[in-house]
Chains A and B, each alone.
Chain A
Amino acid sequence: MTLLDVHGLTVRTADGRTLVDDLTFRLDAGERLGLIGESGSGKSLTTLALLGLLPDGMRAEGSVELAGAQVVGATEKRLTAVRGRRAAVVFQEPLTALDPLMRVGRQIAEPLARRTGLKGRQLRAAVGEALDRVRLPEPGRIARAFPHEVSGGQRQRVALAMALACEPDLLIADEPTTALDVSVQAEVLDLLDTLVRERAMAVLFVSHDLAVVARIADRALVLKDGRAVEEGPVLDVIGAPTAEYTRTLVTGARKLEAALDLRSAR
């Protein structure tokens, strides 16, 4: 079943610059697609366009069908109904992705209450469960903390719990581990992997890091300057890149890895 069908998606600024150019891809239910590209390649804009959340002054053209509903040109009211139920987002910077003045528990309670209709004690219990599910220690303490009172890795888990609280069909993860330390990054990736697998959720994983994408995604789509340069199963893309740009990316990643091997061999 096709969950997300993007056809000829183009994003332009008010002064006519094209930031995402004629992008076409599909995502089936339960499938994981990695969106690879360096900063400025239009990855994040693409994810925003998928949910009709482009910043002021930017316009999307083409077609984005999310679970059968057209997103491009849809009214705000219809979009609000689609968002959350169909797709949720985890952002790169967990500190700014959480409301600094709202206790963590309430931020998770909000989408949770909207989806389940729970109230009071039951809602609190559900929030505790949601925090427990993302392997946060002491869910009670974390729920009562403000975002700045918990660590970066914990914040990203909270953001993940918020996104999962909606039980979306599609989880859009926009560089979710980039702002984290490497060791924390691995933990969060593992967690994401497990949680998504348990729920047979589709994932659109946006990253500039090939290794991270290889770990999470089934298929990969490589973006350069807003255009798709290569698409295919993630192992093929990384193992035998056909596009010039992908080759550069892969070689670059391998060099880093080689340096690591060399150092540790000494």
Chain B
Amino acid sequence: MTTTDVLDKAPAAAPVRGGRRRSATLLAGCTLTGLIALLALVSLVWLPYATDDTSGGRLAGPGGGHLLGTDKLGRDLFTQLMTGSRIALAAGLGSVLTAALIGVTLGVLAAFAQGWLDDTLAAFLDILIAFPTLLLAMLVVAARSATLGSAVLAIGLAQSAVVARLVRILVKRVLAQDYITAARTSGTSWPRTVAGHVLPNIWPTLVVNLALQFGLAVLAEAGLSYLGLGAPPPNASWGRMLQEAQATFTTAPAGALAPGVLLVLLVVGVNLIADGLRDTLDPATRQRRS
């Protein structure tokens, strides 16, 4: 073997991938989430009906030109589900990105802070966590307006506290390790140490948590929309579809069941992804499994 291919390649001897159960988890999660993402992508270029097309007659049952029937205003349910998937995914992604950006920055800072600053940050995060997400969201929505952006901002803010607290603990734990001291004794500067050693080592735990937060954000957005605090009409959010179908549940259950089922599928999907990621990202578990 030559020394030229010494770095950055998977060891030939060690079975890195393996364990059918793990890849099955990840695969199942990706499939579920992928299906809904596909729905959202298709909705960008094609919809069965226009979103404001009320020609279908009220509360029509499934079949007869409407795959899942229509709602109480005569709009096609499947069309609404498709546009709703866009909102659900956007809410999840937007919130998680906001939470990751603010949370990781705050968490790393808090981990490095000492004395009163550390205490203050920790207390601030605890308060933010103790503050109910929905209440925070209502405040944000009241201060701004009921748009998807407000909802995402509110959910992202609330989640950033959770992420920050997790990151703070993870970073502190990593900083106490000898390899950080070793890196520093070899003259690695703090920024390089954080980028090269700290972040990669908290990444497996962090990314699993972010995946879970994605699921929670989707649920939170649905909750906000249910309360009328999410994306305003005529945008069809799954949460609002649930709310609108509530009154007619006994006569036309499809209107409530369909968005509910999709919501569950998406959340279960990202949770499966989180589980699968946890097992594949850590080289130590990777080996134990194989």
Q: Give the B-binding residues of A (Cβ under 8 A).
A: 48, 51, 53, 56-57, 76, 80-85, 87-89, 91, 93, 96-103, 105-107, 109-111, 114, 121, 123-125, 127-129, 138-141, 143-146, 148-149, 159, 162-163, 165-166, 172
Other 16 A-B pairs with CB < 8 A, given A99-B183, A140-B1, A140-B6: A76-B190, A81-B187, A97-B182, A100-B179, A105-B6, A106-B7, A110-B183, A110-B196, A124-B6, A125-B3, A127-B6, A141-B11, A149-B287, A162-B186, A165-B186, A172-B185
Chain B residues with CB under 8 A of A83 = 184-187
Chain A residues with CB under 8 A of B120 = none
Q: Does B246 contact A (CB under 8 A)?
A: no
Q: How far is the CA of A48 from the CA of B185 in the complex (A)?
A: 9
| Contact A102 B197, beta carbon cutoff 8 Å | yes
Nearest B residue (CB) for A56 = B114
Chain A residues with CB under 8 A of B187 = 80-85, 111, 114, 166
User: Which 3 A-B residue pairings sit nearest by Cβ, starting from the closest?
Assistant: A84-B187, A128-B3, A140-B1
Q: How far is the CA of A141 from the CA of B13 in the complex (A)?
A: 8
Q: Mark B4-36, 1 if CB is under 8 A from A, else 0.
A: 111111111110000000000000000000000
Contact for A159 among B5, B114, B182, B190, CB less than 8 A:
B182
Name 12 A/B residue pairs within 8 A (Cβ), A-sorted: A76-B190, A81-B187, A82-B187, A84-B186, A88-B185, A96-B178, A96-B179, A139-B6, A141-B13, A144-B12, A146-B283, A146-B284
Q: Interface residues of B, CB < 8 Å — how many?
A: 38
| Contact A101 B200, beta carbon cutoff 8 Å | yes
Chain B residues with CB under 8 A of A165 = 186
Q: Mark B192-206, 1 if CB is under 8 A from A, else 0.
A: 000011001101100
Chain A residues with CB under 8 A of B181 = 48, 53, 89, 91
Q: Does B251 contact A (CB under 8 A)?
A: no
Q: Does B250 contact A (CB under 8 A)?
A: no
Most chain B C-beta atoms within 10 Å of own C-beta, residue among A51, A121, A144, A172: A144
| Contact B185 A103, beta carbon cutoff 8 Å | no
Chain A residues with CB under 8 A of B284 = 100, 146, 148
| Contact B190 A124, beta carbon cutoff 8 Å | no
Chain B residues with CB under 8 A of A53 = 181, 184-185
